[in-house]
Amino acid sequence: MTEIFGVLNVTPDSFSDGGEHYALDEALRHARRLAELGADWIDVGGESTAPGVAEITAEEERRRILPVIRELAAEGIRVSVDTFHASTAAAAIDAGAALVNDVYGRDPDMPAVVRASGARYLIMHSFGAPTTPAHYADVVADVAGELARRIEQLVAQGVEPSKLAVDPGLGFSKQPAENWALIEGLADIVALGHPVLVGASRKRFVKALVGPEREDLDAATAAISLRAAQLGAWAVRVHEVRASRAALDVHEAMLGRATQPATGVHG
């Protein structure tokens, strides 16, 4: 079954929810609600990757997220930490996070952190900030090739292959048509042999198609979640869990129906 990562931005400047869950009590309330609605993981981030937002220090990032991670992990909720700082990843793992979601892969100490901790490590395809220009001869083949090279490097550095997962990096240095091509070409990313996460929720290329209203964005995200599941995705990362959970439950029901013998009873 395709899993759901519910997004928890403990930031004042996220592109999608602009500080709604910045305070500790509100962050915990929202995380619990995401879990109740069917999130398998809560992906906790303390730094916005929205275009134009200034980076914060790793110390400030940890101040924002560690109390949240400790509390959620103590409640038995599976937590991933969305960070590109190895020091934050190490502290988050100590606090109970089981997976590091690294959007940039630029901290040279990160492989040692995940190797020593045994945490799962999700690597995303990107060329820096989301708006960094990039040219692709064939976006699906190019992204798959870059991810394959990164996996090879990490394994050479001692990271256990079974701990690695990949993300094609929708919206990061990619034009709208390239993002849609990556979704439809997801099977080529799955063929790398590692779990694949798809993160399209509320991104600009989706907004360009359906408009800025959250209800429309979340409905479109649910459609992408369904398509990702059909193409073999291990997980999707979403802001609004309910619609994607329903879409994925329908997908599972249809798969189950296809394997059940006909009974002749309507219902």
- Is 21:72 a contact under the CB 8 Å cutoff? no
- Is 247:220 a contact under the CB 8 Å cutoff? no
Amino acid at 117: S
Homologous superfamily of 3-259? Dihydropteroate synthase-like (3.20.20.20)
Q: Which two tokens stand for residue 11?
A: 């930031």
Domain-wise residue ranges, the chain: 3-259
To the query of whether residue 207 is one of the catalytic residues in this protein, the response is no
The answer, yes or no, to whether residue 204 has pLDDT greater than 50, is: yes
What pTM does this model have? 0.91
pLDDT value for 267? 46
Amino acid at 265: V
**Cα–Cα distance between 122 and 163 in angstroms, integer?**
8
Mean pLDDT for all residues in the chain: 91
Residue in 78, 120, 202, 237 annotated catalytic: 237
Q: Which percentage of the chain shows pLDDT scores above 90? A: 82
Amino acid at 85: H
3-state secondary structure of 237: strand
**Cα–Cα distance between 244 and 237 in angstroms, integer?**
10
Per-residue pLDDT reduced to its tens digit, 54-90? 789 999 999 999 999 999 999 999 999 999 999 999 9
**Cα–Cα distance between 100 and 121 in angstroms, integer?**
5
Show the CA angle centred on residue 2, arms to residues 231 and 45, nearest 5°.
110
Per-residue pLDDT reduced to its tens digit, 129-180? 677 778 999 999 999 999 999 999 999 999 999 999 999 999 999 999 999 9
To the query of whether residue 203 is one of the catalytic residues in this protein, the response is yes
**Residue 21's pLDDT band (cuts 50, 70, 90):** low
Q: Which two tokens stand for residue 9?
A: 């931005």
**Residue 187's pLDDT band (cuts 50, 70, 90):** very high
Q: Which two tokens stand for residue 22?
A: 């910045």
Per-residue pLDDT reduced to its tens digit, 104-136? 999 999 999 999 999 999 999 987 667 777 899
**Cα–Cα distance between 147 and 210 in angstroms, integer?**
30
Residues of 200-213 as b/e, b for ≥16 C-beta within 10 angstroms?
A: bbbbbbbbeeeeee
Pair type for strands 164-167 and 3-9: unpaired
Per-residue pLDDT reduced to its tens digit, 93-105? 999 999 999 989 9
Residue 50: CB partners within 8 Å, gap ≥ 6? 13, 14, 15, 130
Residue in 203, 214, 227, 242 annotated catalytic: 203
**Listed residue (113, 121, 122, 75) closest to 94, CA to CA:** 113
End-to-end CA gap in the chain = 24
**Residue 23's pLDDT band (cuts 50, 70, 90):** confident
Cα dihedral 224/22/40/59 (nearest 10): 110
